[in-house]
Amino acid sequence: MNLLLKSWSGTSIFIFVVAAVLFILGLACLIYKISKYRKIKKTGIEEIDNTRYTTDSTVTTQQGDVNVTYNKEDLMLAQNVDEIVGKDKKVKPGKYTILSTQEGMPSVNIRIGHYVREYKHGSTIVLVEGEKITPVSSSIILR
């Protein structure tokens, strides 16, 4: 054993120790990522920057009931808060799917422009530049 260590130079030992430490750190990171992935797969919820997102993006359950989901690309609009559609605004012009934020609420009332109308969970709308959108009956999600 002593003969083996004498044959190694100081640089070789240093390189070996650094490689071993890097290997252990890489293994620890891999174990952490696997445990985090298993937790997300088990619960169906991923937390990023203190916001909880669901991994499921289906709009309705197999029975046809409201399935409340919130994905990374979704926009949450608060009840009775006006949002103006614009290129530099929170809500950009384009096509959106309206989702309810509450289970058991298959439709919501939304003011788009000057008129309030009832929209069903999963309905699609097209918003244009300068239009005003206000959720009236409850908060909504735009996907």
The single-letter code of the amino acid at 141 is I
CA angle 34/47/60 to nearest 5° reads 100
Q: For the chain, what is the radius of gyration of the CA atoms? A: 26
Cα Dmax for the chain: 89
Residues 18-28: pLDDT tens digits?
999 999 999 99
- Decide: helix, strand or coil at residue 109: strand
If you classify domain 63-142 with CATH, what class do you get?
mainly beta
How, if at all, do strands 75-77 and 140-142 pair? antiparallel
Residues 27-42: pLDDT tens digits?
999 888 887 777 666 6
Q: Which of these, 136, 143, 128, lies nearest to 84 by C-alpha position?
A: 128
**What sign does the dihedral 7-13-15-16 (CA atoms) show?**
positive
Structure token pair of residue 42:
């088990």
The domain spans of the chain are: 2-43, 63-142
Residues 56-98: pLDDT tens digits?
777 766 776 677 777 778 899 999 999 999 999 999 999 999 9
